[in-house]
Amino acid sequence: MPEAVKRYSTFADRVNPLVKIFVAVGLFLTVILIHDPNHLFHLAIIMFILLFILSGVKYIYIALLTGAILFFGFISSLYMIFYGEGTTTIFRLGIIHVTEESAVRGLHIMMRGITLSFFGALIVFTTRITDVFYSLMQQGRLKPKYAYSFMAAVRMVPIIAGEYMALRRARKVRRALIHRKYISGLRGFISTLVTLLSQSIRRAWRLGVAMESKGFDDGPRTYYHRTTYSIHDLHFVLLILLGVILSAFLGEWFSPFDTVDAR
Amino acid sequence: MCIEVEKLRLKFPESESPLFTGLDLKIGKGEKVLIVGPSGSGKSTLLNVLGGLIPDTITIPMKADRLELPKSSAYVFQDPDSQFTMPTVAEELAFVLENRQVAEEEMAPLFTEALDMVGLDVAPERAIQTLSGGMKQKLAIASALLQQADTLFLDEPTSMLDGKSAAHLWDTVRAMWDELTVVIVEHRVEALWHQVDRVILMDDTGGIACSAPPEEMLEVHRRLLDRYGVWHPHSWEAAPHLPKIAPEPGTMMEAKNLSIRRGGRPLLTVDSLRIGKGEWITLEGDNGTGKSSLLLALMKLIPSGGKVLFGGGRISRTRHLAGRVYPVFQNPELQFITNRVFDEVFINLEMHYDDRTARRETDALLERFGLSHVAHLHPLEISTGQKRRLSVATAAGGVPEILIFDEPTFGLDQRHAFGLLTMIHDMVKRGTSVIMITHDAEIMRRYPSRRLRIEDGRLVERGDRYA
């Protein structure tokens, strides 16, 4: 993550990226198996607190991100809320039929989404992309040729974005001189795609040649960033585990929803 | 001998005739050699053969009766953006050391040493993306040093740098090349010519036309250099004499109190800029001072404060002046939208003529731009010089009143550069106004009716104004 958005670093920055990925998979399965909305309600709050404390990101970015996560979470739950089945009607207008059951189910889905989003954001804010690949090579036995190709590809993204902006400007200027059909719709889309792809493919090819000219091959190598498993990894796993268990207890103690099964 | 090649034969699978049909070349240990030649003469290909990239990395069929190549070689390539793998300076340098299996704890001191040697004073954790072009090329040299190669191949390393950075880069290379064999392919040779031991001139049939020490090359073989359209320190003596043209009365475009910001900070302010009809204006300034941004702001392609007036009216959007003011960007490829050189011009003209006339006019225009023989090719397939000319041709039909160029002679050989300048002169003569960003002191001195320069975030007028 760019250093510009960070205020401080925590132990979460030093957790092995692979461990984070495994925890993420574990959390995903757990969240899917939680059917008690009260439990999930507290888990979402705990994940937000972890993001707030452990990410070390400036408040403004956390605020913006939280706003976006809540907004999209709510939008995605609307389908379930409006059209889901249920017996206790709260509101009905044409094809929209909100029932108590569908509202709970919708909110349940929203909480699943935001729980995982908060945790995902924590991982993104505390992991450098290069560390992911270094870790995949050292602990995950990924072949260097794949790892370095991906790291090189990541470097290309801002370059391609800049190129796209330049392309749009060039088109804006040419637009006045030619028929619309060449520049808008499918034809315009295809020519944009062909141009950008051809630039990228040639750049990738040149980069490949440059990498090999620097002595890169798939053989044995040393690593500048040594990634290992550490005590931080254990702390991180335990922390998330604790969060899941704690949220279950909190769900019994304070239950905003009447039901314990959203299905 | 460090490099010895006898009877090299090489053919690109997709081309009809072979590139090399028996090329001989010898380069001594520790020798510094400059290879020049017209575009398409195979300079870069030869460099790739000498460094062993062909046929190992780049699979192109080749044969030679004798091929003795350096044991270890390192490259610096033309495009700074496509030779780095990693996001930061330290990681990029580490990449080379990892390949050599240097132990992790020995790496950091080696970085510092290499960065010191090339005079690149940046923190190792700095993102490569934030470096200037010149700094990136120094980093490429540092990484070549870490390869501990005995031979260094440089493939047009300064072609994307401004004059100052280019001269600086050659100083850096010279400071460290004593022990090395160095082979350089380069267009822009003023700062380099007299530093090398030998200059090799390639001809346009894949052979070596001439090989001599730099002084002898200039004294004895200068006509040969000019014939192949190759830049040399005295190239400009043969430049076209284009009489300066007096601008016509009348204002085409005006900018008042223009202010441009970059990354939240003020980059450039222009109190007042007036562009008259038939003026040829050059715009100079160091890299990163906002020359391109100024041109984009005049076109309303980026946001800016202040007023832009065109034809007496205030301009608030690009489409109000698109077509009448036409920019040719640095990367011409982004301006192409069709699959054929012919169509690229034809779609402009079909707006103004019936089909038959449009075809005839297109042919005539391509002829004038020297593109007839490539009319059937894809616009991305043709050479850099041809692309640049084609991108000027894409302004056709609208008869632009103002043409804007961002470094039009970049990467062109002498012949094409002079051709393009003559073409621009023709357009100015017909009343088109031209604004052109350039780093070339000779162009600034010879052709424009007026010179502008960006200094300390302000646009200032330089002397030499046409009376």
Q: What is the pLDDT of residue A39?
A: 93
pLDDT category, B397, cuts 50, 70, 90? low
Please give the average per-residue pLDDT across B7-23, as a whole number. Answer: 88
Residues 119 through 138 of chain A touching chain B, CB cutoff 8 Å: 129-130
Strand partners, B266: B261
Of these ranges, B186-195, B323-332, B380-389, the one predicted with the greatest mean pLDDT is: B186-195
- Per-residue confidence (pLDDT) for residue A94, from 0 to 100: 82
At residue B396 the predicted structure's pLDDT band, cuts being 50, 70 and 90, is low
The tens digit of pLDDT for each residue in B250-262 reads 889 999 999 999 8
Mutate to test the interface with A, among B82, B156, B390 (most CBs of A within 10 A): B82
Minimum mean pLDDT range among A164-168, A256-260, B227-231: A256-260
* Contact with chain A for residue B130, Cβ under 8 A: no
Say if residue A95's pLDDT is above 90. Answer: no
A interface test, pick of B79, B84, B86, B99 with most A CB neighbours within 10 Å: B99
- Structure ipTM: 0.85
Please tell me which of the candidates A178, A209, A216 has its beta carbon nearest to residue B347: A178
pLDDT, one tens digit per residue, over B112-156 is 999 998 889 999 989 898 888 889 999 999 999 999 999 999 998
Region of poorest pLDDT, from A184-198, A203-217, B267-281, B385-399:
B385-399
Among B385, B382, B36, smallest CA distance to B203 is for B36
In percent, the amount of chain A with pLDDT more than 70 equals 99
- Answer whether A203 sits within 8 Å of B101, measured CB to CB: no
Q: Does A92 touch chain B (CB under 8 A)?
A: no
Q: Report whether pLDDT(B416) > 90.
A: no
Q: How far is A186 from chain B (nearest CA, A)?
A: 12
Cβ B79–A203 below 8 Å, yes or no?
yes
Average pLDDT over residues A57-75: 93
- Please say whether the beta carbons of A83 and A98 come within 8 A: no
Averaged pLDDT score across all residues of chain A:
90
Average pLDDT score over residue span B367-391: 84
Closest-CA distance, B322 to chain A, in angstroms, reads 5
The answer to whether the CB of B240 falls within 8 A of the CB of B444 is: no
Decide if pLDDT at B385 tops 80.
Answer: no
pLDDT averaged over chain B?
89
A157 Cβ under 8 Å from any chain B Cβ: no
Query: In the CATH scheme, what is the code of domain B3-237?
Result: 3.40.50.300
Q: Is the pLDDT of residue B344 over 80?
A: yes
Q: Which of A145, A203, A214, A218 should one mutate to test binding to chain B, selecting the residue with the greatest count of B CBs within 10 A?
A: A214
CB of A164 less than 8 A from some CB of B: no
| Average pLDDT of the segment spanning B393-403 | 77
Is it the case that residue B321 has pLDDT exceeding 90? no
Q: Is the pLDDT of residue B467 over 60?
A: no
Closest among A26, A21, A235, A240 to A124, alpha carbons compared: A21
Compute the nearest-CA separation of A197 from chain B (Å).
11
> Are B74 and A213 within 8 A, CB to CB?
yes
Interface of B with A in 43-62 (CB under 8 A): 48, 51, 53, 56-58
**Cβ partners under 8 Å of residue A40, min gap 6:** A31, A34, A108, A111, A112, A115, A247, A251
Distance CA(B241)–CA(B430), nearest Å, equals 17
Interface contact flag, A215 B147, Cβ < 8 Å: yes
Contact check, Cβ <8 Å, A151/B397: no
Q: How far is A143 from chain B (nearest CA, A)?
A: 14
What average pLDDT does this structure show over A223-233? 90
Query: What tokens were used for B362?
Result: 């297109």
Residues 28-57 of A with CB under 8 A from B: none
Q: Would the CB atoms of A155 and B84 count as touching at under 8 Å?
A: yes
Convert the pLDDT of each residue in B59-105 to its tens digit. Answer: 899 999 999 999 889 999 988 888 999 989 999 999 999 999 999 99
Cα B15–B17–B21 angle (5° rounding)? 125
Write down the domain spans for chain A. 3-133+228-253, 144-213
Give the pLDDT of residue B465.
46
Distance of alpha carbon B117 from alpha carbon B98, whole angstroms:
20
Selected for mutation to probe chain A from B84, B88, B95 (highest A CB count within 10 Å) is B95
DSSP state of A196: H
| Stretch 349-388 of chain B: residues touching chain A, C-beta under 8 Å | 350-351, 380
Q: What does chain A come to in residues?
A: 263
* pLDDT classification of A179: cutoffs 50, 70, 90: confident
Note the pLDDT of residue B282: 94
Look at residue A227 and tell me whether its pLDDT is greater than 80: yes
Query: Tokens in use for B201?
Result: 């001139």
- Binned at pLDDT 50, 70 and 90, residue B195 comes out as very high
Residue of A nearest to B93 (CA): A224
The tally of CA atoms less than 13 A away on the side-chain side of residue B279 is: 22
Please check whether residue A206 touches B, CB under 8 A: yes
Q: Considering only alpha carbons, which residue of chain B is nearest residue A221?
A: B101
Find out whether B192 and B170 touch, Cβ atoms under 8 Å: yes
Of B81, B326, B334, the CB nearest to A167: B334
Q: How distant is the Cα of B221 from the closest Cα of chain A, in angstroms? A: 34
CA distance linking residue B170 with residue B235, whole number of Å? 20
**Distance in angstroms (rounded) separating the CA atoms of residues B369 and B420:** 9
CB contact under 8 A, A222 and B333: no
Rounded mean pLDDT, B427-436? 91
Distance from CA of A214 to the nearest CA of B (A): 6
Q: Any CB–CB contact under 8 A between B398 and chain A?
A: yes
State yes or no: pLDDT of B463 exceeds 70: no
Architecture label for domain B251-336+380-462? 3-Layer(aba) Sandwich (3.40)
* pLDDT surpasses 50 at B466: no
- Burial of A89 per CB tally in 10 Å (0-12, 13-18, 19+): exposed
CA-nearest residue of chain A to B295?
A: A169
Report the amino acid identity of residue A207.
L
B362-376: average pLDDT: 87
Q: Is it the case that residue B411 has pLDDT exceeding 60?
A: yes
How far B9 CA lies from chain A's nearest CA (Å)? 22
Which pLDDT value is given to residue B356? 93
Domain with CATH 3.40.50.300 in chain B: 3-237, 251-336+380-462
Distance CA B79, CA B137 (A): 9
B265-307 residue pLDDT tens: 899 999 999 999 999 999 998 877 889 899 999 999 999 999 9
A150 CB within 8 Å of a chain B CB = no
pLDDT at residue B132 in the model: 85
Residue in B with minimal Cα distance to A195:
B334
Complete DSSP assignment for B254-318:
EEEEEEEEETTEEEEEEEEEEEETT-EEEEE--TTSSHHHHHHHHTTSS--EEEEEETTEEP-SG
